[in-house]
Amino acid sequence: MTQALSLQLLKHVRDRGFTQKQIAEHVGMDPKTVRRWEKGETRCPTMLEASLRNLLLQAAPLGGGTQAQDGFSFIDLFAGIGGIRMGFESHGGHCAFTSEWNDFSKKTYLENFGDRHPFVGDIVPFPLEDVPDHDVLLGGFPCQPFSIAGVSKKNSLGRPHGFECTTQGTLFFNVAQIIAAKRPKAFLLENVKNLVSHDKGNTFKVIQETLRDELGYDVHYKVIDGAHFTPQHRERIIIVGFREKTGFSWDNLQLPAEGPRLASILHKTDGSEPVLPHDADRFFNHEKRIVQPKYTLTPKLWDYLQAYAEKHRAAGNGFGFGMAYPDSVTRTLSARYHKDGSEILVYQGKSKRPRRLTPRECARLMGFPDEFRIPVSDTQAYRQFGNSVVMPVIREVARLMVPSIQALIAHERDGTPLTLPLFT
């Protein structure tokens, strides 16, 4: 999205009657920042397009309010580069607080979102009382191993138990602490598919018991493959919970029966590749209409990967590189992709060495729009996208959650019964 389009959207929102303060609170900024955008003194972040468009879809304010109608607030924990945030912003959410410990991820996050709300690194030592109130807690939390072993013994000895015992020392414990202290109306947690089977199911059992029995939330979970939305098999578990029963169900989750293929995210060599000012020719040479040569594997690396694959084939193992073709759905992009790219090698012809995906293609493979800026090195970009979420999956789950979130907001605000509006 160009700066001109950003300002045009901002003007349309202002014409609808929203004040600078209302816009600022909706997108998590300071009113002075919005004022500077309108004056052209600073750049309006490209990733606010979804939030600005959402305001255009909402009822015009009647005046005196601090937030556009039907908006909701969320906090973004273990935020990475903001994939979960983007999914919820596209349905009217505004971010009130962010936590991400990695400095490189923080750089990418701030480049795209330009936040002025509290942004902290490590959430572990951060005081609970300083976490702002919010409607929804979001978190792609890292799952450090823990077990329920020993709980019965502690019960018999009269020692403390519950989530403070069974999850102490894990990052999930910090999520549970915030939920217990702030009682958000809803939460979404994302993790790897194997969370369900880790430690013979004990890990996930503790998580469910903590959220459902200890904290009292109505919990639902589902494993979703990102291949419904992008050409990549990437199964992740999504855990959602609501402070009260709302009638939420996965039944209306809309997953395309057949997703796109690799060709849809590859750089176009027919002259139709978009020129992105923030990329310039970093990944793609527009004059020559070719992917930059540095992404093609060196002869030495290609020989090594072929020999490695042959060695394991001879031993009856399935280890080896993954060759991807235009009509392919790829393997899961990992954070180690920067090392040799072996899990997703792009076929370039029978007599040619394959290549890695470029960071821009990795962004597309994760469902990020081309407006998303990549201000870090290729190595860091590969790590960031390999650790991220398939954004359209989160966007679809957010769509499904929002009616329940709004029902809880209305119930708390004016006692409206917890009946959901019809899904669309």
Active site residue 362: no
Kindly give, in sequence order, each residue whose CB lies less than 8 Å from that of residue 38, ignoring residues fewer than 6 positions away.
7, 10, 11, 14, 20
Kindly give, in sequence order, each residue whose CB lies less than 8 Å from that of residue 208, ignoring residues fewer than 6 positions away.
219, 221
Q: Which of 174, 239, 222, 186 is nearest to 74 (CA)?
A: 186
With beta carbons less than 8 A apart as the criterion, state whether 187 and 136 touch: yes
Q: Which of 44, 95, 143, 362 is catalytic?
A: 143
Q: Which of 399, 396, 395, 415 is nearest to 407 (CA)?
A: 415
Q: How many residues does the chain have?
A: 424
Place of tokens 């609970």: 128
CA distance 237 to 258: 20
Beta strands in 345-415 (DSSP E): 345-346
With beta carbons less than 8 A apart as the criterion, state whether 125 and 172 touch: no
Residues labelled as active-site residues: 143
